[in-house]
Amino acid sequence: MAHANGGSGDEQKKAAAAAATRSNKYDRQLRIWGEHGQGALEQASVCLLNCGATGSEALKNLVLGGIGNVTAVDGGLVHESDLGNNFLLSAENLGQPRAKSMAALLQEMNDSVLIDHIDASPESLLDSDPGFFARFTLVIATQMRDRSLVILDEVCRRFSVMLLVARSYGLTGYVRISLREHAVIESKPDNTVSDLRLHRPWPELTTFVEEFNLETEDSLVHKHIPFAIILLKVCEEWRSKHGGALPSTTKERSEFKSLVASKKQAQDEDNYKEAVAAASKVWSPPSLSSEVKAILEDGAADVDSSSSDFWILVAALKRFVASEGGGEFPLDGAIPDMHSFTEYYILLQRCYQAKAESDVSAVEAHVRSILSQLGRDPDSISRAAIKHFCKNSRNLRVLRYRSLAEELGLKEVGAKLQKYLPFEGDNTNYAIYLMFRAVDRFAEEFGRFPGAMADETVEEDAAKVGAIAHKLAGEIGLDGGVSEELVYEFCRFGGGEIHCVGAVVGGIASQEAIKLVTKQFTPTAGTLIYNAISSTTTIFQL
C-alpha cells in the first residue's frame, strides 16, 4: 500500500523501532543461529498434533523463538486433568476445545507469530483431508499411536513435509524424525580443528614465509613471529635434511619438536612455546570425517538435472578435490590466534583468506560448468552460497530416515536393538522402545492403555501387556526381553502425561525442529528414548 510522503517518516521510525525491538528480543538466540537462521524460522510453518503437555511445551518453545506460523490440531475438550499438567490451559477453558484454548494462551507469548487452530482430531484429518498437511514445513505429532503415525508418515513423505514424532508416557519419552533426506551445510561441530596446511603450504604461503628469519638478532621481532611461520620454516629445514619428507616416526617427531624448541633465544618467547605445542599439526593435519567421505561417495553425488543445489555443490567439490585441490578440500581460511605482532598476524591471516577465496573461485567454476552441463541456469547458485559451502565443507552432514512403516514393521529392529544391549549397562532403554510398541498393541486390543483405569487393574494389565511385550521380543529375536519391573512401571504410568517429562520431550522436539528448519547443527539421526527414571537417553539407529 502506498503511503503519502508526509506519513513515511513516522512509518520508517516505527519500522526501525520494531526492528530494534526484534533484534533485542531475539539477541540471545541470534548469537547462536544468526539472522539467516532466524529468517528460516520466521518463514517456517509448523503443525502441532495434539495439545497435551508434550505438544504444548514443544510449541511454546518454538513460539518464543519466533517461528513463522503454527497451527494447533486437537479434537479434544479441556478436562480437569489438563490443568494438572499443561501450563497453556487454564480453568477458564474447561469444556472448551483444547486446540482453540491453547492457541489463545500461546499467542500471548509472542505476538509476531501467526497462530491458528483446528478443533479436530489428527486421525480424522488424516482420514478426511490428508492434503491438509501439504502446506506445512514441519508436522510435530505428539501422543499419537503407531498405527496412525505410519499413515501420517506416508502422507508427509508424499508431500515432502518433515515429520517429527514426540511422545511422553509416564516417566519415559520418545522422539523420532522422519523424512527422506536432510542435508546440512552448517553443522557447526563443537570442536573445529584449524586447517593450517603446515604439511602442504601453497606457493604464496611459502613466499610469504621467506620474509621471516628465525635467526634474526632483533629480539623483539624474534619473539613476535607467529607460530605457524615458525613451524613452516622448521618444516623446510627438516625437509631439506630428510629428502623432502616430514617427520614420521615417534623418534623423528620428538626430534622435530626439539628442533623447534632450539630456535628459542630467550625464556619468555611465548610464540616458540606455542610452536612446540602445535608441532603435531605438521604430521596430523585435520582429517576428513567418515560422514564427509561417505557424502562424497554417495550415489546422489552423481548429479542429474533434478539434483538439489546441495548435491550439485558436492559434485563440484569432488571435481575440485580431484583437480585444483590435489586431494585437499577448499581451505577454510580461518587461523587460530597466535602470539605475534598485529601486522604479521594480519598479513598471515590475509594469506590464508586469499587462498580460501581462490579455492572458492575454483569450486565456483566447477559449479557453473556442472549446472550448464545439466541444462540449468549456471548462475542459479550464488557465489555467496558457494563460499558458505566451501567454508563448511569439512563438516557436511546428510541424514536419511527409514519410513515409520518399515521401522515399526519391526523386521530388522530386533537385530539392531540387540547391538545396543552390551552398552546399556543398567539402562533398559531398549526395553522402553519395545514397551512403547507393546502398549500401543494393548490399546488396539482393549481400547485403552494398560493401567489407565482404577488402581486395581494394574496387576491384571501388567500380565496382559507383559505377555504382548514378551511375544514381541520373541518375534523380533531380542534376547533381552523386558523386565517384570519395567512392565509393571509402564502399567503404573497409566498412559499419563507428566508435565516435567512432557517438558523434556517437548523441549527436545522443539530443539530438533529448530535444527531441521534452520538447517544448522545436526538433527538426531535415530530414535531417541528418554528414561526419566534413570535420567538417561539412548539413540537407537533402527
Partner 1 sequence: MEARWRDIDFLLQRPGKLVSDGFEPGPEVCSAARSVCLVIGSSLSLQLREFLRDFKILVIGAGGLGCEMLKDLALSGFGNIDVIDMDTIDVSNLNRQFLFRMHDVGKPKAQVAAEKIMQRIKGVTVTPHYGRIEDKDIEFYREFQLIVLGLDSLEARSYINSIACSFLEYNEDGELDMSTIKPMVDGGTEGFKGHARVILPGFTPCFHCTLWLFPPQVTYPLCTLAETPRSPAHCIEYVHLIQWGQDREGESFNPDNPEHMTWMYEQALKRAEQFNISGVTYSLTQGVVKNIIPAIASTNAIVSAICSLEALKLATMCSKGLDNYMMYSGTQGVYTHTVSYEKDSSCMVCSPGVPVEVDGSITLQEFIDMLLLDARFKDKLSKPSVSFQGTNLYMQAPPVLEEMTRPNLQSSLLSLMGSKGVLNVNDRKLAGVLRVQVAFRNVATPMAV
Considering only residues 79 to 138 of the shown chain, the ones binding partner 1 according to CB under 8 A are 79-81, 83-87, 90-91, 108-110
Region of 131-139, 413-421, 429-437, 503-511 interacting with partner 1 (CB under 8 A): 503-511
Region of 5-13, 74-82, 404-412, 469-477 interacting with partner 1 (CB under 8 A): 74-82
- Residue 499 vs residues 54, 76, 105: alpha-carbon distances, Å: 8, 18, 17
* Spatial distance between the Cα atoms of 232 and 205, rounded to a whole number of angstroms: 9
Coil, strand, or helix at residue 164? strand
What is the DSSP pairing of strand 138-142 with strand 45-49?
A: parallel
**Sheet order of strands, 45-49 included:** 114-118, 69-73, 45-49, 138-142, 162-169, 172-178, 527-531, 536-540
What single string gives the DSSP state of each residue in 269-324? -HHHHHHHHHTHHHHSPPPPPHHHHHHHHSGGGS--TT--HHHHHHHHHHHHHHTT
* Spatial distance between the Cα atoms of 144 and 127, rounded to a whole number of angstroms: 15
Determine which residue in the list 346, 415, 463, 467 makes contact with partner 1, applying CB under 8 A. 346
Determine which residue in the list 54, 56, 61, 121 makes contact with partner 1, applying CB under 8 A. 61
Number of residues in contact with partner 1 under rule CB under 8 A: 86
Minimum gap (Å) between residue 475 Cβ and partner 1: 25
Give whichever of 315 and 438 is closer to partner 1, judged by the CB atom: 438
Does the footprint of partner 1 cover residue 330 (CB under 8 A)?
no
Minimum gap (Å) between residue 118 Cβ and partner 1: 24
For partner 1, the binding residues in 505-524 under the rule CB under 8 A are 506-508, 510-512, 514-515, 521-524
Minimum gap (Å) between residue 88 Cβ and partner 1: 9
Minimum gap (Å) between residue 429 Cβ and partner 1: 11
Give whichever of 303 and 486 is closer to partner 1, judged by the CB atom: 486
Region of 206-214, 230-238, 279-287, 527-535 interacting with partner 1 (CB under 8 A): 527-535
* Spatial distance between the Cα atoms of 266 and 284, rounded to a whole number of angstroms: 28
- Residue 229 vs residues 132, 258, 430, 500: alpha-carbon distances, Å: 61, 16, 52, 54
* Spatial distance between the Cα atoms of 313 and 20, rounded to a whole number of angstroms: 36
Phi, psi of 109 (to 5 degrees): -80, -20
For partner 1, the binding residues in 164-223 under the rule CB under 8 A are 170-171, 175, 187-190
Q: Are 471 and 427 a contacting pair, CB within 8 Å?
A: no
Does the footprint of partner 1 cover residue 356 (CB under 8 A)?
no
Q: Are 55 and 82 a contacting pair, CB within 8 Å?
A: no
Per DSSP, 287 falls in state: P
User: What residues form DSSP beta bridges with 133?
Assistant: none
Determine which residue in the list 73, 494, 516, 519 makes contact with partner 1, applying CB under 8 A. 494
For partner 1, the binding residues in 212-231 under the rule CB under 8 A are 224
In this structure, how many other beta carbons lie within 10 angstroms of the beta carbon of residue 35?
A: 10
Minimum gap (Å) between residue 362 Cβ and partner 1: 24
Minimum gap (Å) between residue 82 Cβ and partner 1: 8
Give whichever of 80 and 211 is closer to partner 1, judged by the CB atom: 80
- Nearest C-alpha neighbor of 74 from the set 105, 117, 113, 45: 117
User: What residues form DSSP beta bridges with 138?
Assistant: 46, 162
Outline where DSSP puts E strands in 260-340.
none
Determine which residue in the list 40, 48, 50, 65 makes contact with partner 1, applying CB under 8 A. 65
Does the footprint of partner 1 cover residue 345 (CB under 8 A)?
yes
Give the x-and-dash track for 442-461 against partner 1 (CB under 8 A).
---------x---x--x---
Give whichever of 338 and 367 is closer to partner 1, judged by the CB atom: 338
- Residue 79 vs residues 89, 186, 361: alpha-carbon distances, Å: 9, 44, 62
Region of 232-240, 339-347, 400-408, 413-421 interacting with partner 1 (CB under 8 A): 339-347
- Nearest C-alpha neighbor of 194 from the set 384, 349, 408: 349
Give whichever of 179 and 316 is closer to partner 1, judged by the CB atom: 179
Coil, strand, or helix at residue 173? strand
Minimum gap (Å) between residue 184 Cβ and partner 1: 10
Does the footprint of partner 1 cover residue 27 (CB under 8 A)?
yes
Determine which residue in the list 504, 516, 517, 542 makes contact with partner 1, applying CB under 8 A. 504
Q: Are 228 and 198 a contacting pair, CB within 8 Å?
A: yes
- Non-local (6+) Cβ contacts of 192 within 8 A are 395
Does the footprint of partner 1 cover residue 57 (CB under 8 A)?
yes
Coil, strand, or helix at residue 392? coil
Does the footprint of partner 1 cover residue 436 (CB under 8 A)?
no
* Spatial distance between the Cα atoms of 404 and 5, rounded to a whole number of angstroms: 57
Minimum gap (Å) between residue 407 Cβ and partner 1: 17
Give whichever of 35 and 475 is closer to partner 1, judged by the CB atom: 35
Give the x-and-dash track for 473-492 against partner 1 (CB under 8 A).
-----------xxx-xx--x
Determine which residue in the list 215, 217, 297, 337 makes contact with partner 1, applying CB under 8 A. 337
- C-alpha cell, 212: 621471516
User: What residues form DSSP beta bridges with 79?
Assistant: none
* Spatial distance between the Cα atoms of 219 and 71, rounded to a whole number of angstroms: 68
Give whichever of 82 and 309 is closer to partner 1, judged by the CB atom: 82
For partner 1, the binding residues in 367-386 under the rule CB under 8 A are none
Minimum gap (Å) between residue 21 Cβ and partner 1: 6
Give whichever of 465 and 503 is closer to partner 1, judged by the CB atom: 503
Give whichever of 171 and 312 is closer to partner 1, judged by the CB atom: 171
Give whichever of 256 and 530 is closer to partner 1, judged by the CB atom: 530
